[in-house]
């Protein structure tokens, strides 16, 4: 794991307000790269007209 | 007919009702068994011996007074992510050390109200989420992985130190340990069983489920625990259909499908697991089911969608604890929670949109092919050896395991895992996923299979202090 990747993780975490332990930096750099690849899988889907699978019931319940 | 073994809830109910056995005798038997097996398998985080015997004495008095409840005197175990007013709930974490809830989780209230005797709290991975390896071991081979995260619950049932156990399932955490330990596991339809008082992981993926020795026992537990709960607005009001499957002894008229490319024909599926699942499905055909092969290409997105939602939800819930108690988390859990905190909100929003596309694709497959169930191996391999050090890897790579199980959580459809054979001497599970609210139908399939096979009756060859072997 190169120091540039670790530096990017540190910078990103600082901007996001996420605390990162030094011990976790290398793992996190690899994991984030993999996670970006996971998210990219969804990039080609056309989801503009799709409602998310989260429902909201506005009725007041006792 | 094969005599029902003494370790099922159903058989124990009959013996208690007939007076062959008292609740105190049965509970003491479980506690004695625990003494033999716990040094080997470490299924329990907390053993409530005195409280269990007290509950058993009460059960005997109630039965003598003419009362009959569905679980009267039946000894069960509860996963330690479910609150219990009379036992600690530490969720496998130093963060929760000493936490003593003031009331039960709803599901625990319901089994108590049905007369159950709670033996103790079973081991879970940290917050039912961490990648740490608790001390729990697979009773079939003690150096092997017991599954996660309801490992303790599955192992207690497999080892015979509980007649059944409660578990939770966010990405297979009932089904995976069920399959790896050779027991039956049910993840009901999302919203069937209240999650109030259960530590959340990812609220729209979380399910309360059961680890048992038989499909019949899953039916008993579901009947006792299902139903609306003012404490959990996600609970469904739909009435549970009569789960007695005995009226229909075979599978004529049942239509099941295999999706081979997703569940069978990729590199991580071990040949022995594939063979056991294929043989089991052939048995379903022998019993009268129509078996077809279908393709649902959208399934390939399940792990990506599931991992984004699961990671982000867990990190959101733990945000305050990670701020205040960071050093008390296991490093593996801490890393996962840090990763989840760095997932873009747009990715999370799109994952929930994509989830609707996936759910719709599965629905279309069921409707177009007039399916009762989708069947396949619960997980692609048997329990791996823990002597091999696995590197920590982020989801979804961790998971050939979650690859098989995320479809059930993302769609909320009910899934039953039943023992269907062995590979390399270790248990293999078959998953049966049904339509929404169709627990009756998947239990009919599972029950027919268990009537005609004895995989679910096999016992691990544990040799305990009392010399009990199976």
pLDDT tens digits for range B91-147: 999 999 999 999 999 999 999 999 999 999 999 999 999 877 789 999 999 999 999
| Cα–Cα nearest to B158, from B405, B417, B444, B440 | B417
Q: Please name the residue of chain B whose CA is at the shortest distance from the CA of residue A16.
A: B342
- Classify the C-alpha dihedral B152-B154-B156-B158 as positive or negative: negative
Instruction: Tell how far CA B211 is from the center of its chain.
Output: 5
Pairing of strands B290-293, B255-258: parallel
Which of B394, B406, B410, B413 is the best mutation test for A, with the most CBs of A within 10 A?
A: B394
Give whole-number Cα distances, B276 to B281, B380, B406, B415, in Å.
9, 11, 22, 18
Residue B5: band (very low, low, confident or very high) from pLDDT cuts 50, 70, 90: very low
Q: How many CB atoms lie within 10 A of CB B432?
A: 28
Q: Is it true that the peptide bond before B370 is cis, omega within 30 degrees of 0? A: no
- Asked if residues B62 and B22 have their Cβ atoms less than 8 Å apart, the reply is no
Are the Cβ atoms of A13 and B342 closer than 8 angstroms?
A: yes
Tell me whether strands B184-187 and B75-79 are parallel, antiparallel or unpaired. Answer: unpaired
Chain A residue at shortest CA distance from B343: A35
Q: Which of B22, B153, B161, B173 is catalytic?
A: B173
Our CA-based measurement puts residue B404 at a distance from the nearest CA of chain A, in whole angstroms, of: 17
Q: Which among B218, B216, B241 is positioned nearest to B169, based on CA atoms?
A: B218
Cis peptide before B277 (omega within 30 of 0): no
Q: Quick count: other Cβ atoms within 10 Å of Cβ A62?
A: 3
Contacts of A41 in chain B (CB under 8 A): 301, 304
Cβ within 8 Å, pair B308-A18: no
Give this complex's ipTM: 0.89
CB-CB under 8 Å, B334 with A53: no
| Token pair for B169 | 């399932």
Three-class DSSP category at B145: coil
User: Which pLDDT tens digit goes with each residue over B254-272?
Assistant: 999 999 999 999 888 999 9
pTM given for the model? 0.94
Instruction: List the single residue in A21, A27, A45 with the smallest CB-CB distance to B392.
Output: A27
How does pLDDT run across B154-183, given as a tens digit for each residue? 999 999 999 999 999 999 999 999 999 999
Tallying the residues shown for chain B, one arrives at 470
- List the single residue in A with minimal CA-CA distance to B355: A53
With CB atoms and an 8 Å threshold, state whether A24 touches B338: yes
Question: CA nearest A12 in B: which residue?
Answer: B342
The mean per-residue pLDDT over the stretch B445-454 comes to 96
* Cβ contacts from A onto B, under 8 A: 94
Q: Please confirm, yes or no, whether B79 is among the known catalytic residues.
A: yes
pLDDT digit string (tens) for B210-262?
A: 999 999 999 999 999 999 999 998 999 888 877 765 666 789 999 999 999 99
Q: For residue B207, how far is the Cα from the chain centroid?
A: 9
pLDDT at B395: 47
Residue of B339, B360, B363, B402 for testing the chain A interface, max A β-carbons within 10 Å: B339
Q: Give the pLDDT score at B245.
A: 57
Average pLDDT over residues B171-200: 97
Q: Residue A47 and residue B357: Cβ atoms within 8 Å?
A: yes
Is A53–B339 a contact, with Cβ atoms under 8 angstroms apart? no
How is residue B233 written in tokens? 């607005």
Choice among B8-12, B114-118, B190-194, B382-386 with the minimum mean pLDDT: B382-386
């Amino acid at each position: 794991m190169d120091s540039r990747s670790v530096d990017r993780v540190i910078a990103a975490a600082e901007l996001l307000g996420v605390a990162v332990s030094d011990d976790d930096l290398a793992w996190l750099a690899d994991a984030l790269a993999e996670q970006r690849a996971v998210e990219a899988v969804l990039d080609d889907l056309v989801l503009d007209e799709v409602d998310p699978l989260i429902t909201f019931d506005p009725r007041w319940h006792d | 007919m094969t005599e029902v073994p003494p370790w099922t809830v159903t058989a124990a109910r009959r013996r208690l009702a007939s007076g062959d056995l008292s609740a105190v005798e049965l509970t003491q038997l479980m506690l004695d068994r625990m003494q033999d097996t716990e040094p080997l398998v470490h299924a329990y985080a907390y053993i409530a011996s005195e409280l269990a015997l007290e509950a058993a004495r009460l059960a005997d008095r109630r039965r003598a007074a003419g009362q009959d409840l569905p679980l009267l005197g039946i000894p069960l175990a509860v996963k330690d992510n479910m609150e219990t007013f009379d036992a600690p709930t530490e969720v496998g974490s130093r963060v929760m050390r000493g936490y003593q809830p003031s009331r039960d989780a709803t599901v625990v209230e319901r089994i108590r109200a049905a007369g159950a005797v709670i033996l103790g709290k079973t081991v879970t991975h940290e917050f039912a989420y961490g990648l740490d390896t608790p001390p729990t071991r697979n009773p079939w081979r003690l150096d092997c992985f017991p599954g996660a995260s309801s490992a303790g619950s599955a192992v207690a049932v497999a080892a015979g130190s509980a007649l059944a156990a409660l578990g939770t399932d966010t990405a297979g955490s009932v089904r995976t340990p069920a399959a790896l330990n050779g027991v039956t596991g049910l993840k009901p339809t999302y919203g069937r069983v209240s999650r109030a008082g259960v530590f959340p992981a990812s609220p729209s993926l979380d399910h309360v489920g059961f680890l048992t020795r038989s499909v019949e026992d899953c039916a008993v537990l579901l009947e006792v625990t299902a139903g609306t709960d003012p404490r959990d607005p996600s609970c469904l009001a739909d009435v549970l259909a009569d789960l007695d499957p005995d009226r229909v002894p075979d599978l004529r008229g049942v239509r099941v499908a295999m999706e081979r490319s997703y569940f069978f024909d990729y590199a991580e599926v071990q040949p022995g697991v594939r063979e056991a699942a294929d043989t089991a499905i052939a048995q379903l055909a022998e019993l009268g089911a129509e078996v077809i092969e279908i393709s649902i290409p959208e399934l390939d997105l399940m792990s990506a969608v599931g991992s984004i939602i699961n990671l982000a939800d867990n990190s959101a819930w733990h945000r305050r604890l990670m701020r205040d108690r960071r050093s008390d988390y296991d490093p593996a859990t801490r890393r996962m929670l840090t990763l989840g905190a760095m997932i873009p909100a747009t990715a999370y929003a799109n994952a929930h949109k994509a989830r609707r596309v996936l759910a719709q694709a599965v629905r279309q497959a069921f409707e177009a092919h007039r399916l009762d169930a989708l069947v396949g191996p619960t997980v692609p391999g048997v329990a791996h050896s823990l002597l091999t050090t696995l590197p920590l890897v982020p989801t979804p790579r961790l998971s050939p395991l979650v690859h098989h199980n995320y479809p059930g959580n993302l769609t909320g459809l009910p899934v039953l895992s039943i023992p269907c054979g062995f590979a390399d001497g270790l248990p293999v599970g078959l998953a049966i996923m049904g339509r929404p609210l169709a627990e009756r139908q998947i239990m009919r399939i599972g029950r027919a299979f268990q009537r005609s096979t004895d995989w679910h009756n096999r016992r691990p060859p544990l040799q305990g202090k009392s010399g009990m072997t199976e």
